[in-house]
Amino acid sequence: PKKQIIVVTPTYNRALQAFYLNRLGQVLRLVPPPILWMVVEMNVASMETAEILRKTGVMYRHIVCTKNSTNVKDRGVHQRNAALEHIEHHKLDGIVYFADDDNIYSLELFKGLREISRFGTWPVAMLAQSKNKAILEGPVCNGSQVIGWHTNEKSKRLRRFHVDMSGFAFNSTILWDPKKWRRPTSAPIQQLDTVKEGFQETTFIEQLVEDESQMEGTPAGCSRIMNWHLHLEARNLVYPRGWLLQKNLDVV
Ligand code: UDP
């Protein structure tokens, strides 16, 4: 049987939310099943999100994270943890991928996820916020072997793994079958809310693998860009004076 893909998407209400969720949903709709879209909201499951999920035709779970969080820097951390807990608790079997709602994904990426056995990673293209240029973050590979990293100036040597949140995926059994993967402890694997900005990914990945030898660069050679992390937000766009954007532009 084909391996299941488990896509975890934290989301929150803002002007472009409906646009983002529709766009991502339409890509996921094109991925051959089995694929499960876990969409996680904070505090309540909104009607608007529920409606979009119903319409996409993708198998989904609409999850609510109730952890109290006042830290604006958390940006989806608790929501991803809620999904991880759900996967662990229900022993869901598949390849877990964190797909934020606002990134752009190619179909090829999702097809490649099924080839991953333990932990797969690939380079992601992004805009460097301060420098007005596109940069890569992710592995440099020899075949599927990871031999180095594209880094950026911000955190050059300090980070163990230079991977974007949308630049890796892993086997869900690492979460609930520690013996199979000879994990040193069976403590739950979680994203931490206490790490410095830019270290969220590496701190998480360090719980999944010991080093590069346990990683699979995908597709072999790691020379393809399959998704883009552009940091575009409604608040930074330029609108004619006096225009007002609603909280959610899902107009029916
Ligand atoms: N997010 C969220 N609540 C927030 C901030 C972010 O659910 O208060 C989600 C957002 O929808 C996205 C992910 O977390 O799926 C990452 O957020 P964002 O794209 O703003 O972070 P960045 O890309 O700048 O790291």
70 versus 117: the higher-pLDDT residue is 117
Residues 136-179 pLDDT 10s = 999 999 999 999 999 876 666 689 999 999 999 999 999 999 99
pLDDT (average), residues 7-24: 95
Nearest CA to 37 out of 24, 23, 47 is that of 24
Find the 140 Cα to ligand 1 centroid distance in Å: 27
201 is catalytic: yes
164 touches ligand 1 (CB under 6 Å): no
Q: Are 3 and 33 in contact (CB under 8 A)?
A: no
Q: How far apart are CA 20 and CA 221, in angstroms?
A: 30
ipTM comes to 0.97
11 touches ligand 1 (CB under 6 Å): yes
E strands, 56-172, where?
Answer: 60-65, 95-98, 104-105, 119-121, 124-128, 133-142, 145-150, 168-171
pLDDT (average), residues 50-54: 97
The protein residue with its alpha carbon nearest to ligand 1, atom 24, reads: 231
pLDDT (average), residues 190-210: 91
Is the full-model pTM beyond 0.90?
A: yes
Strands 168-171 and 104-105: unpaired
* Helices (H) then strands (E): counts for the chain: 6, 12
Per-residue model confidence (pLDDT) at position 116: 97
Per-residue model confidence (pLDDT) at position 130: 66
Per-residue model confidence (pLDDT) at position 157: 67
Residues 177-187 pLDDT 10s = 999 998 878 88
Per-residue model confidence (pLDDT) at position 168: 98
Q: How far apart are CA 32 and CA 55, in angstroms?
A: 17
102 touches ligand 1 (CB under 6 Å): yes
The β-bridge partners of 102 are: none
Q: How far apart are CA 204 and CA 226, in angstroms?
A: 22
Q: How far apart are CA 25 and CA 11, in angstroms?
A: 13
φ, ψ (nearest 5 deg) of residue 108:
-55, -40
CA-based end-to-end distance of the chain: 39
pLDDT (average), residues 71-77: 78
Q: How far apart are CA 230 and CA 232, in angstroms?
A: 6
Per-residue model confidence (pLDDT) at position 156: 63
Q: Two tokens at 239?
A: 């609108």
